[in-house]
Structure 1
Amino acid sequence: MGFPSGQFSRVDNISTSCQWRARKKNSQYSTVDTERYSSLVREVLSSKTSSQTPESIEDEDCQLYGPIVRSRPPSQQPKVPKNLHPLLNDAKGQSEYVPGPLARITLKRDSNNTHIPSVTRILQKTMPPDQAFYLERWKRRMIAELGEEGFREYSSNLFRQGKLFHAAIEDTFIQETPSKEDQECPAEVSGYIESVSDVLSDITGVRAIESAVHHSALQYLGIVDCVAQYRGSLCVIDWKTSEKPKPFLRHTYDNPLQVAAYIGALNSDHNYNYQVNITMTPDIECFHDTSSIGHIGGTELSKQ
């Protein structure tokens, strides 16, 4: 079977053309002495120097981004409060205890002292950020577990237990001839009373219970739970309740600062003819059982 001569010619030409294009062209750099060329490049690069210096780079950055604002080095001087006031009052002394009626000054709010903050209010507003964070996280966890209404009921029960506990403590001090048979303690706070039973036996010479104090110089108010002799030393006592044991002072958060503020206010208040002194020997105790804790603090708390 034969083919037309024209078709055979085109196929032959295409085959010849493909073979020609597949040929590799010779590069003009194939004859270059690569060793000599590389040494020349190294010599040029080694002798090349940059016109930029650290000073010129800094000037260029200042023009582009503005001058550098350098932070001040941290001060080595300790911070001192602006309104420095001594804790002790030189105008007062350590008066001897004279048996008599207990001081119970009521905190009255009027037009003259409505602007004076309380110790509790100051501590709430000046709470460290980390402590505020953990407090808020605890609150959210409790709300998620109990709900809004359940958390309000839980908080109300804690407040009521605290009131009952303080009332039971007051009854032990007010009774002229206290005896375990005569004392009736609500079942809700029996664990708290048992927790501080050993402490109560060392408290004598009670001078004030639930009494208001006012710092005349620093202008703040507070209510002290108790002022009495504890193991021979006059102390400001603040009772605290907790569902968890707190065997160390660091577990009581800002409670020591609260007691110190009460001491300063009492020493400055002219309604009290005595003051609480500062001792150098720490005598801080936390008492707890499996269900409750009673915390007693005195003059030693002011220096923590």
Structure 2
Amino acid sequence: MFFSIIIPTYNRQPILEKCIQALENQIITDQELVTGYEIIIVDDGSTDNTVSWLKKQSFPHVRLFQQDHQGPATARNLGINKAKRDFIIFIDSDLVVTKNFIQAHAHCLNQSPDKTFTYGRVINTSNFENPTAEPYKITDFSAAYFATGNVAIHRQWLEKAGLFDTQFQLYGWEDLELGVRLKKLGLKLIKCPEAIGYHWHPPFTLEQLPKLIEQEIERGKMGIIFYEKHPTWEVKMMIQKTILHRILWGTLSLGGLLNERTMRPLLQWLIQRGKSGLALEIARIFLNWYTVQAVYGKK
């Protein structure tokens, strides 16, 4: 198996460096099974130093492609089109993998029947200096069928499903929507917990709130496109377009009275006491209300 690892990126140069270094340091124990790999970086119109930095490096496996800022769906499709071989691994540019990452995906794929893909473990961390030191937590569990944070699949299934839908230009759902189409083809998800990626994000601060709110509004708007393509109860639940979600998040946020302004003192108090993770979980109450409102066209 020769793997093409496709990584869309946008303004993430510091963590991207750790992402690439981890991939360059892979240990391949079965070279008959894993014959090689390439790292396809698709820069989605970054405005930081990502491209200039990459052009100065000499990573042996990296191939760089650029596009105007069009979102991860278009970037991943470009990566698929540029891939040299048939086995694709998708990860995000803020993911740092372990040294046996590629070997683990290859082993799981090799042991699986046809019409399968493998999904590795994703562990969330705020530890920039040593992200792989983070232990697995209950909150890291994911029930997603197809999520591009850490997944390996044969190229033929992506092409038969129709690749990523480029209507999804804002934040959210482009990978799960493709997953719906892959499921219709009869593909089976195989969990591969040995293929571990550590998803880095900075510790929560109040300065992040405007961007997080924007992301939740975008997620709601993209959720509308998702449901228009697949008007099923399953998708309704995924995008939170039900009366249950309106009641739940409307009640918890007191109809929007608990928001980034009114909750600011409590969130700041928690952050100052080293509880930024708890502060973020509390902030998700009103962040989810923004999502639900956007799904119903209220934002």
The alignment's TM-score, normalised by the length of structure 1, stands at: 0.26
Q: Which has the higher strand share?
A: 2
The alignment's TM-score, normalised by the length of structure 2, stands at: 0.26
